[in-house]
Amino acid sequence: MCPTTGLRIESHNREPKRRTKRKRSRQRPEQAQMIGKVIQGIYRVVATIGEGGMSSIYEAEDLRRGRRVALKVLHPALADDAEAVARLRQEATVVATIGHQNVCEIFDMGQIEDGSHFLVMERLIGESLADRIKEAGSLDFRELGPLVRQILAALEAAHDKGILHRDLKPANVMVGPYGEVVLMDWGVAKPIGETDLPPDDTLEDPPPNESATRKRLVQTAASSLIGTPAYMSPEQARSSADLDARSDLYSACVVFHELQTTRHYLDDVHNVPAMLLAVMQRELPGTANVGAWTNTHQGVPPAEYVHFIRHGMQKDPAKRWPSAQAMIDELQGALDGNIRVQCPMTFTKRMTREAGRFVDHSPRLAVTTFAIGGALSL
């Protein structure tokens, strides 16, 4: 998936064990004409990365600094579309305001000779979380906590500046070769409490060769809804005007759930109206329903992760985590072994952890205690 759009692209410089064959998408005539062009005497276009309903993404060389960048170029037909141009500019402003290592950086913006508007962005190397989910065998429960923690760090930085992402999904998260995470596509982000730009009546082009159900799960709606239906919070699905940070946090937990199970929790829903209804009404099963949480490649995820996700996906925002930082603290505690007791499994893990600490801190007393306990059991 491409930087900042979530569109289908060729993935470069992956780790060898995750490399898969991908079909090259056909270039549009205007895309082929862009190759070799030098924009504003600075950016020489060298390749097409991907494209969608409103923009194309190119790899380019910054001739001033000798580095590779990504160009997001609105289609020429949208050169005079005030809303499309406003969203592009708003994306640049939002990203500059956040200024965080886990947010895709934007360096410049301008216009091409044909009137098309463009952004100059960080050229990211790696693969999207959507790709990792499709390559389910590459997922490792031990990796997921640190990955989600970085997503939450990006959201915390945005929310601290009063900005909502509103379209968090696996396709909009890039993972680099060293496990670094970058949250992309801030095109529908907006300041909390401000009136949104008026929506148009189109849907973003879905990825090619996807099933009808999956297309509906990953499309970004741009009609009366802003965001991707399958990853919306209940209040976002209702088109509520007073969204706050907890809406993004719900979406983050939907992504975490999909990473854990390698399937979307609404994978049986086939159309947008039914999906929106399910988002508003369907509850996640608890830890007792093992089948609902089983990952066919690795089994059942850690119980503390299940409780973490369920807490973040409460239908009532007041019952969710209050902030991304609160989620980071809880997740870090689980990663460090400080597991809260919430079920028999977490109780067992917590007691095992405490027993280990007891042995580490008081080895002689531990030996004596265990010896006495063993003798009494005879």
Q: What percent of the chain has pLDDT over 90?
A: 46
Return the pLDDT at 89: 92
For residues 107 and 353, the model is more confident at 107
Model confidence at 141, pLDDT cuts 50, 70, 90, reads: confident
Judge contact between 120 and 69, C-beta under 8 A: yes
Q: According to CATH, what is the number of the domain 127-335?
A: 1.10.510.10
Which range has highest mean pLDDT (167-176, 215-224, 258-267, 281-290)? 167-176
Answer yes or no: is pLDDT of 7 > 60: no
Return the pLDDT at 110: 94
Q: Where are the domains of the chain?
A: 16-122, 127-335, 347-377
Mean pLDDT of 252-277: 92
Return the pLDDT at 347: 53
Judge contact between 281 and 287, C-beta under 8 A: no
Return the pLDDT at 19: 41
Model confidence at 368, pLDDT cuts 50, 70, 90, reads: low
For residues 263 and 33, the model is more confident at 263
Could you tell me which residues come within 8 angstroms of residue 333 by beta carbon, excluding any fewer than 6 positions away?
A: 339, 340
167 classed as catalytic? yes
Return the pLDDT at 15: 37
Q: According to CATH, what is the number of the domain 16-122?
A: 3.30.200.20
Answer yes or no: is pLDDT of 366 > 50: no
Could you tell me which residues come within 8 angstroms of residue 290 by beta carbon, excluding any fewer than 6 positions away?
A: 300
pLDDT digits (tens, 9 = 90+) for 33-78: 789 999 999 999 999 988 766 889 999 999 999 999 999 999 888 9
Least confident of 38-42, 205-209, 263-267, 336-340: 205-209
User: Residue with structure tokens 């809880």?
Assistant: 330
**119: alpha, beta or left, given left = phi > 0 and alpha = psi -120 to 50?**
beta
Model confidence at 18, pLDDT cuts 50, 70, 90, reads: very low
pLDDT digits (tens, 9 = 90+) for 111-133: 998 889 999 999 999 999 998 88
Could you tell me which residues come within 8 angstroms of residue 97 by beta carbon, excluding any fewer than 6 positions away?
A: 161, 163
68 burial (CB, 10 Å; 0-12 / 13-18 / 19+) is middle
The 3-state secondary structure of 209-244 reads CCCHHHHHHHCCECCCCCECHHHCCHHHHCCCCCCC
Answer yes or no: is pLDDT of 369 > 80: no
Model confidence at 17, pLDDT cuts 50, 70, 90, reads: very low
Mean pLDDT of 235-261: 93
Backbone angles phi, psi at 95, to 5 degrees: -65, -40
Catalytic residue among 167, 185, 244, 248: 167
Return the pLDDT at 32: 74
- Hey, what's the torsion of the CAs at 208, 111, 121, 193, to 10 degrees? -90
The pTM score is 0.76
Answer yes or no: is pLDDT of 268 > 60: yes
Return the pLDDT at 34: 87
- Hey, what's the torsion of the CAs at 295, 297, 300, 301, to 10 degrees? -80
Distance, CA of 181 to CA of 157 (rounded, Å)? 14
Per-chain mean pLDDT for the chain:
79
Q: Which DSSP state fits 53?
A: S
For residues 7 and 59, the model is more confident at 59
